[in-house]
């Protein structure tokens, strides 16, 4: 049973998903057992450019398995203050 997750990419990673609207995520259909890393790769974002991933507002590892309805946010190295 395929599941749907919501993917958002930010900052310099936006160029890999140029059609991704800034104010909402893109919905991606994935198979059960898909990991965060596999989702990012499938979306065309090079993993070596990724520094931080958050799933449902918590830091996540690339090997975390996704659950239906997850909100995934992907960031390159960023900072400010």
Partner 1 sequence: MSKILRVNMTTQKVNIEEVPEKYLALGGRGLTSQIILDEVPADCHPLGPNNKLVIAPGLLSGTSAPSSGRLSVGGKSPLTGTIKEANAGGITSQKLANLGIKAIIVEGKPSKGTYVLRVTADNVELIPADDLAGKGTYELTAVLRERYNKKAGVICIGPAGEMRMLSAGVANNDSEGNSSRYAGRGGLGAVMGSKGLKAIVVESDKTFDAPVQDKERFKAAAKKFADILLKHPVTGEGLPSYGTNVLMNIINEAGTLPTRNFRTGRFDRAAEVSGEKLAEVAVARGGKATHTCHPGCVIRCSNVYPLPDGTVCAPVEYETAWSFGPNLEISDLDVIAKLNYICNDVGLDTIETGCTLGVLMEAGVLPFGDGQAAIKALEEVGKGTPLGRIIGAGAAVAGKVYGVTRVPVVKGQGIPAYDPRACKGNGVTYATSTMGADHTAGYAVTANILKVGGFVEPTKEDGQIELSRNLQVATAAIDATGLCLFVAFAVLDNPEGLPTIVEMLNAQYGTDLTVDDVVALGQQILKNEREFNTKAGFTKADDRLPEFFYNEELAPHNTKFELKDELDEVYNF
Nearest by Cα to 73 from 34, 48, 43, 31: 43
If one asks whether residue 79 binds partner 1 (CB under 8 A), the answer comes out as yes
Options 23, 33, 44, 63; binder of partner 1; rule CB under 8 A: 23
Nearest by Cα to 7 from 64, 50, 53, 76: 53
Options 3, 6, 10, 16; binder of partner 1; rule CB under 8 A: 10
How far lies 4's CA from each of 15, 21, 27, 68, in Å? 23, 18, 6, 5
If one asks whether residue 12 binds partner 1 (CB under 8 A), the answer comes out as yes
Q: Binding string, 54-73, against partner 1, x = CB under 8 A?
A: x-xx-x-------------x
If one asks whether residue 19 binds partner 1 (CB under 8 A), the answer comes out as no
């Amino acid at each position: 049973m395929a599941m749907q997750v919501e993917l958002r990419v930010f900052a310099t990673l936006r160029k890999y998903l140029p059609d991704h609207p800034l104010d909402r995520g893109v919905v991606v259909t994935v198979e059960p057992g898909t990991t965060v890393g596999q989702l990012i790769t499938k979306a065309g974002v090079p993993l070596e450019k990724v520094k931080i991933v958050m799933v449902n507002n918590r830091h996540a590892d690339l090997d975390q398995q996704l659950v239906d309805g997850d909100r995934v946010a992907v960031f390159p190295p960023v900072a400010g203050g």
